[in-house]
Structure 1
């Protein structure tokens, strides 16, 4: 098992593009045809079916669908200022290394020029583009997962961690790590209250302690149902855009956080089934309850910091309805996160490792 150290000097976490960049793309999408000029510019760099390109979603990147011989493919566009070329190159190396392994991960497709990554400018911004093959299956509803599905879910994450841990450092180098995220969180949260800044300091100290016990390794970082496609019992994994180097237990907590929204007995049993599945397949021991609590707190701080960089429209700039709605949604989330962060810090329930 090989642990990895990051030498990345690129960007850190990116839950969502800055709203200013989202607006440039979204405001030019035709809501009748779901076509957009940025998709029409990049798609011709790959062989694809004429007329098949249309907008899919905007989050930390822009996604367009482009069919190839009638089969759905996904064109992903990352802003170069938000995702460096070395980061994307490392992601592609990781995906290629997973090809033919015990896990199924969506693979990149060569462009007409034979490149897996194409870089070009659109409206003054530089983008890195990758075309991914479509994978079979559906996204299950995580609110109605059976214990058997949760067991299988955990097993798949355990298998993925096993494959990732075996990769040489040369494959992984270029991806960010928790310390890079921490540096960016400090920059973004410096205007928050003393209680929030104190919670970040405490979480950073605890993360250092955990990394002495559980050395950091490459993880997916977003192993939720939105990034898994199920076909019977077969699972395909998509969206390695956020993969980074963290204590492996962080991947567990970020995967099951949706289950924690419910306090029912079923949710507790689902979580236990996930942990049982992971333990059966992973080379890593299960994290303690204290470690999982730390990763929960870290993720709240991570999202709160992200909200500061994402909501970047000038206060005096007119908004269209979707922009106002999104800003309100993120303002409400930020307030919820602040409350949870402060309450968690006050309870001091993950101080001993």
Structure 2
């Protein structure tokens, strides 16, 4: 998630009808139907929905301090590769300047912007999906991993891996977060001990939860590869199923998901049994991100949405902190 100060600055440009002159300024690089640009959400990215020539698209942008230009270029190259290999991945759209990635200077900062085509279909919550959809969800991740196992080495450049993530944790954690520092030492040693092979380790989506999956009958669409990193493939399975709760091989949802996954590619069951380690690694990375995110003090001058969001994030930080203390 981005810094709250960045979110506050940009959302200040969004009016009561969810329109933003900033988004429209950025979208002038692509063109859009007048009156069609609306704010959708903000988390790791700002997302706006819009139409051009009657077709639906999504604008995604970040302030330059939030993302590295070359990392976004690398993400786009991976997405194009996947699309060229018959995966149903939301594709980037070239601007009027024939660029996939535009750098836009504005009065409130420099922004990196990409436009994506909209995929047809519907999205669901975990409690809404059918057994068949659960199976297809797992199958689509297996198909993605099957393709990524053969992706050329050049596509790994400028994409982070688990070591980079833990290094960022170390750089971000305040010295007084002693329990988190001890957890960092434990997780680093654990991850270093895991085997790494071409079949069990490589680029993963990292966030294949249902909010990044679109169901169109038997065709599954995939969204948001901005966190694509080098990890063990089983981590992608475990992270995708976070809303199920603690990972258990006895869960009917997890069993069906893995059943679908295995129709497309192999799975390292021994590594899958290390699920608690991957969950702890993810919590540690998320904890550090949230500490960076909450960069605004509590104040009566903050808008209500910001006060509520800050409270929610601080509560999550405390939950993570308690879990690290329990592991000590």
- Is contact 1:155–1:281 with CA below 8 Å preserved after alignment? yes
Q: Distance in 2 between matches of 1:286 and 1:318?
A: 52
Q: How many residues align?
A: 327
The superposition leaves residues 177-218 of structure 1 with CA deviations (integer Å, 9 ceiling, x where unpaired) of 111111110122243443321111111111111254676311
| Residue equivalent to 1:230 | 215
Runs (4+) of structure 1 exceeding 4 A deviation are 314-317
The superposition leaves residues 284-331 of structure 1 with CA deviations (integer Å, 9 ceiling, x where unpaired) of 434535421111001111111111100111466832211111111011
SS in structure 1 at match of 2:275: helix
TM-score, reference length from structure 1: 0.87
SS in structure 1 at match of 2:240: helix
1:66 deviates by 1.7
Structure 2 residue runs without a partner (length 5+): none
Query: Superposition pairs for residues 157-172 of structure 1, below 5 Å?
Result: 157-172=141-156
- Is contact 1:143–1:259 with CA below 8 Å preserved after alignment? no
Q: Distance in 1 between matches of 2:255 and 2:169?
A: 31
| Residue equivalent to 2:28 | 44
- Is contact 2:234–2:272 with CA below 8 Å preserved after alignment? no
Q: Distance in 2 between matches of 1:316 and 1:36?
A: 25
| Residue equivalent to 1:351 | none
Structure 1 residue runs without a partner (length 5+): 1-15, 347-353
* RMSD (Å), alpha carbons: 2.1
The superposition leaves residues 205-257 of structure 1 with CA deviations (integer Å, 9 ceiling, x where unpaired) of 11111254676311101001100110112110011111111111111111001
| Residue equivalent to 2:185 | 201
Query: Superposition pairs for residues 75-224 of structure 1, below 5 Å?
Result: 75-212=59-196, 216-224=201-209
| Residue equivalent to 1:7 | none
2:317 maps to 1:323: no
TM-score, reference length from structure 2: 0.93
Q: Distance in 2 between matches of 1:65 and 1:325?
A: 24
Aligned partner of 1:300 among 271, 274, 283: 283
Give the number of the structure with larger relative contact order, counting CA–CA contacts within 8 Å between residues 6 or more apart: 1
SS in structure 1 at match of 2:160: coil
The structure-2 alpha-carbon separation of the partners of 1:36 and 1:229, relative to structure 1 and needing over 3 Å to count, comes to: same
The structure-2 alpha-carbon separation of the partners of 1:315 and 1:325, relative to structure 1 and needing over 3 Å to count, comes to: closer
Q: Distance in 1 between matches of 2:286 and 2:206?
A: 13
2:254 maps to 1:254: no
| Residue equivalent to 2:224 | 239
